[in-house]
């Protein structure tokens, strides 16, 4: 039985229900959002969370970049979550689990530990990297999005990045121009990645908010 980290919808969005990407305009708002997660979040059985729209399952969603290039991946049929098979993605992520409480990295912070674990499980990253929180994703237009919220991080490793299990996930770095062209042609991107692509310039080239 899998337990996942959730937070009540009303606690995360006390004044309005955002739709799409919400970029943090300043460090204060980013920290306030993280504080609400840390204060009100808890673990619950995943099966129960999937059928409870009043809770949001919190998903670290990490964009891996190097200058003007971004890691673009496609989940193969052996890659776990069937809803994501064959979809293009610019986000590395997954559920936060109780094991992330035990990770001593990132000062013991549950949210950062989960984001880093997801990257290190999927990728062989040569060189150090920091995680920068730049916003969150919320999409209530479909049943899957209604029970999830994405924490958007950007990671800029100092060395090369390779896929660990190529029979599960394929991927390579692509230029922003190529990424936009693929999206413009209507290629099969997952919803959260589609929402992010238009905003990548500001996230990759402007100093954002570290999560400390």
pLDDT digits (tens, 9 = 90+) for 146-192: 999 999 999 999 888 999 988 889 999 999 999 999 999 999 999 99
Number of H helices, E strands in the chain: 7, 13
Cα separations (Å) of 86 from 71, 155, 198, 205?
Answer: 16, 24, 22, 29
The predicted pLDDT at position 173 comes to: 94
The DSSP 8-state label assigned to residue 15 in this structure reads S
Cα separations (Å) of 80 from 46, 72, 167, 168, 178?
Answer: 15, 18, 12, 8, 27
pTM of the model: 0.89
Under 8 Å between Cβ of 200 and 70:
yes
Under 8 Å between Cβ of 164 and 122:
yes
Q: Is 3-210 assigned to CATH 3.30.9.100?
A: no
The predicted pLDDT at position 207 comes to: 45
Instruction: List the structure tokens of 2.
Output: 């899998």
Cα separations (Å) of 148 from 10, 160, 197?
Answer: 13, 31, 19
The predicted pLDDT at position 198 comes to: 86
Q: For tokens 């209530």, what's the residue?
A: 140
Domain positions in the chain are 3-210
- Rounded Cα distance between 199 and 28, Å, is 20
Under 8 Å between Cβ of 127 and 118:
no
CB neighbour list of residue 14: distance below 8 Å, 6 or more residues apart: none
Low-confidence ranges of the chain (pLDDT < 50): 104, 107, 206-210, 212
């Amino acid at each position: 039985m899998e337990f996942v980290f959730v937070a009540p919808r009303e606690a995360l969005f006390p004044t309005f229900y955002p739709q799409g990407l919400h970029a943090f305009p300043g460090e204060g708002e980013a920290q306030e959002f993280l504080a609400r997660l840390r204060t009100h979040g808890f673990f619950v059985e995943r099966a129960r969370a999937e059928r409870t729209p009043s809770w949001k399952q919190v998903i670290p969603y990490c964009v891996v970049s190097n200058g003007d290039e971004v890691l673009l991946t496609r989940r193969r049929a052996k890659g776990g979550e069937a809803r994501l098979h064959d979809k293009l993605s610019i986000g590395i992520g997954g559920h936060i689990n109780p094991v992330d409480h035990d990770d001593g990295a990132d000062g013991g912070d549950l949210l950062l530990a989960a984001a880093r674990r997801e990257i290190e499980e999927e990728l062989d990253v040569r060189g150090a990297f920091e995680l920068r929180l730049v916003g969150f994703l919320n999409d209530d237009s479909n049943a899957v999005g209604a029970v999830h919220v994405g924490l958007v991080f950007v990671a800029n490793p100092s060395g090369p990045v390779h896929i660990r299990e190529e029979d599960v996930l394929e991927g390579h770095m692509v230029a922003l121009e190529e990424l936009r062209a693929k999206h413009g042609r209507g290629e099969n991107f997952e919803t959260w990645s589609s929402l992010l692509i238009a905003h990548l310039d500001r996230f990759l080239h402007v100093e954002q908010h570290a999560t400390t």
